Structure 1
C-alpha cells in the first residue's frame, strides 16, 4: 500500500462528525462484562452481541471505523456474511487490536509494559488479508507515588513506535494508544505532567522509527483528576488542560486524535469532547474511540432478551454514536 493510501484511510477515520467504536475486548474482558449482566460468554453469544452492534441501522452516519478483536475479525453474521464485508458495505472501516496486553515491567514494581511484538509482522499480513484497514496497540501508564518511572514511559513508547512502523509496512494505519489510567487519588496537575511526558516520549519514538505521522492516528486519554481524588476537575477544566497538553506535544501533521473514555461515564466522555471542540481552532480534528461509553447501556438492554431486544439495543447504540458525533463537531447539547 502506498503512503497516499495510508493517508487516505487515516483521513477517512477522522471524517467530520464521526468516530471509532471500540469492540475489541479480549475474551477475558468480554466474560467480565457478560458476567455483570448474567450472560454466558460463549463464542456464539459474543458473535451475536457484536453482530447486534455492527448491524445497527445508519451506524455509519456517526461511526467511521470499529476496532475488533481477533475472534471478531474472523466471524460472520448469522446469515453467513463476514463482519468485515458488512462493515465495508456500510462504509465502516475494520480495525484490529494487535497487542497482547500489559505485563509487569521487571525491576519497576507498579509499572507495566505491553507485549505482542513477537510475530507481529506475520500477524499484520494476515490481518490485512482479512480486511483490516487500521490497527490498535494500547500502552498502560499508571500513576501512583512511585509510578510511572521514566523507564516505563520509554519502554512503552518504544514498543508503540515499533508496532506503528510494522503496521505501515503492512499497509495498515496504526492507532497508537498511550493510556494514562484514571485510577488513583492524583489531581489533574499530576495527570497533566504524566500525559505530557508520555506524549513527548511517544512522538520522539515515532520519529526515530520513521513512522509517517500523516498515516497515524493518536488515541489519547483526557487529562483528568484521578477517580479517588477528593477534588474533581469540572468539564471546562478537563477540556482546557487536555487541549493545552495536546497542543504542546502533538505535531500538527497528525491527521487526528480520538479519545478513549477511560472509566468516565457515558455523559462525561461526551461532555468533555464537546467542550474541547467548542474551544476554538485546533491543528487536528478531535473525535472519539469509545468502548464502554458506547456499549454499556446497549449491553444491559440486549442481555435481558438477546433475541427480542436487538432493535431496542441498537437504538441505544445509535443514540450514543449520534451524541458523540455531535460532540466531535462541538454541537452536542445535554
Structure 2
C-alpha cells in the first residue's frame, strides 16, 4: 500500500469512478454506450469493445484527479494496457488516480432476504497479481433486499472475513453490502446494516483499514458514525440505479459521503460522439458528481 495513495483516498476531494462491469453487466454498459449485442459475436469481442470504451474515458482530458480520486477496474482491465502501460500504472502515473480491483465472482441465489457473494476460489492468486499490477485496493459486492437480521449478519460476516484476507495481502478492501433501492424495508435494512458493520469495525486492529461502499441512505447522515470510525479510510456511495441527477441530489444531503458511481458517470456517453462531444459530456457528468461529493 502506497502511503501517498492512502492519504489521497482519506483526504482528497473527489469521487471514485466505478468501471468494473463484468461479464453479466458488460452488454448493458455497451448498449448504453450505443453498441448493441449484434455488433459483437463472442465474449472476446465484447471485452475488446468495453476496454476501448474505458480507455476512451481514462485517456480523456475530462478524466482527471482534480475530480476523480480513484477508479475501480474489472479483472480483465487490470491485465490490459492503455497506451502501452498496464491500466493501473496508467491511472496512477499518468492520471494520479488510485486503482482498485473488483474481486468478487458475482452473487449467489437469494436466501434470507440477501444475496451473498459466490465463492472466490482463486482469491490468493488474484491478490498476488493485483500487487504485481500496483493495485491499491479491492471491491466486492453483496446485496440486501429485506430487513432480515440473520441475512444481513451473514452478508457483513462474509464481507469482513474476505476483507481480512485482502488486508493481509497488503491491500485495502472496499466492502460493499448494497441495499436494494427498491426494498420496501430500505431504511430498516440500513439501520441493521450499520449496527453489523460497526460491530465488525470495532473488532479490527489499529492497522486494519477498510473502505465501505454503501447505498445512499434513506435518512441523511445515517452512516456518519461509520465515516468517522478510525478504521475506515473513506465511505463511498453507489448510485444503485438512481439517475445521475437523483443520485447527486440524495448524495448532497450526506456529509462527507462521496460518490462511487458507474452508470451515473457513463449514462450520456456514446460511441458515435466526436472526441469534443465525448469529452464535454464526460466533463459535465464528472463535474456534477464531484459537486455532490464535496457538499
Question: Contact conserved, 2:216 with 2:251, CA < 8 A, in 1?
Answer: no
Aligned-partner Cα distance in 2 for 1:103–1:272:
29
Residue 56 of structure 1 corresponds to 60
**Aligned CA-pair RMSD:** 2.3
Matches for 1:67-106 after TM superposition, within 5 Å: 67-77=72-82, 79-89=83-93, 90-105=95-110
Residue among 273, 280, 284 paired with 1:315: 280
Aligned-partner Cα distance in 1 for 2:203–2:8:
26
Distance 1:64 1:247, change over 3 A: closer
Distance 1:158 1:210, change over 3 A: farther
Question: Contact conserved, 2:142 with 2:177, CA < 8 A, in 1?
Answer: yes
Residue 193 of structure 2 corresponds to 198
The structural deviation recorded for 1:34 is 2.0
Unaligned stretches of 5+ in structure 1?
Answer: 225-240, 278-284
Residue 30 of structure 1 corresponds to 26
For the residue of structure 2 that corresponds to 1:127, the secondary structure is: helix
Question: Contact conserved, 1:117 with 1:163, CA < 8 A, in 2?
Answer: no
For the residue of structure 1 that corresponds to 2:85, the secondary structure is: coil
Aligned-partner Cα distance in 1 for 2:29–2:78:
20
Question: Contact conserved, 2:147 with 2:186, CA < 8 A, in 1?
Answer: no
Aligned-partner Cα distance in 2 for 1:174–1:123:
13
Could you tell me the TM-score, scaled by structure 1's length? 0.78
Aligned-partner Cα distance in 1 for 2:141–2:206:
17
Aligned-partner Cα distance in 1 for 2:119–2:288:
34
Residue among 136, 139, 146 paired with 1:136: 139
Aligned-partner Cα distance in 1 for 2:96–2:226:
32
Residue 157 of structure 2 corresponds to 158
Could you tell me the TM-score, scaled by structure 2's length? 0.87
Question: Contact conserved, 2:17 with 2:260, CA < 8 A, in 1?
Answer: yes
Aligned-partner Cα distance in 1 for 2:226–2:17:
25
Residue 181 of structure 1 corresponds to 180
The structural deviation recorded for 1:105 is 4.9
Residue 43 of structure 2 corresponds to none
Distance 1:256 1:111, change over 3 A: closer
C-alpha offsets along residues 193-241 of structure 1, whole Å, 9 cap, x if unaligned?
Answer: 211101211232344464845x2211111124xxxxxxxxxxxxxxxx1
Matches for 1:1-334 after TM superposition, within 5 Å: 5=2, 9-36=5-32, 37-39=34-36, 40=39, 42-58=46-62, 59-77=64-82, 79-89=83-93, 90-105=95-110, 108=112, 110-142=113-145, 147-184=146-183, 186=184, 190-208=185-203, 210=205, 212=207, 215-224=209-218, 241-243=219-221, 245-247=222-224, 251-253=228-230, 254-277=232-255, 285-298=256-269, 301-302=270-271, 304=272, 309-330=274-295
The structural deviation recorded for 1:322 is 1.7
Unaligned stretches of 5+ in structure 2?
Answer: 41-45
For the residue of structure 2 that corresponds to 1:28, the secondary structure is: coil
Aligned-partner Cα distance in 2 for 1:325–1:297:
16
Question: Contact conserved, 1:137 with 1:175, CA < 8 A, in 2?
Answer: yes
Aligned-partner Cα distance in 1 for 2:156–2:121:
16
For the residue of structure 1 that corresponds to 2:18, the secondary structure is: strand
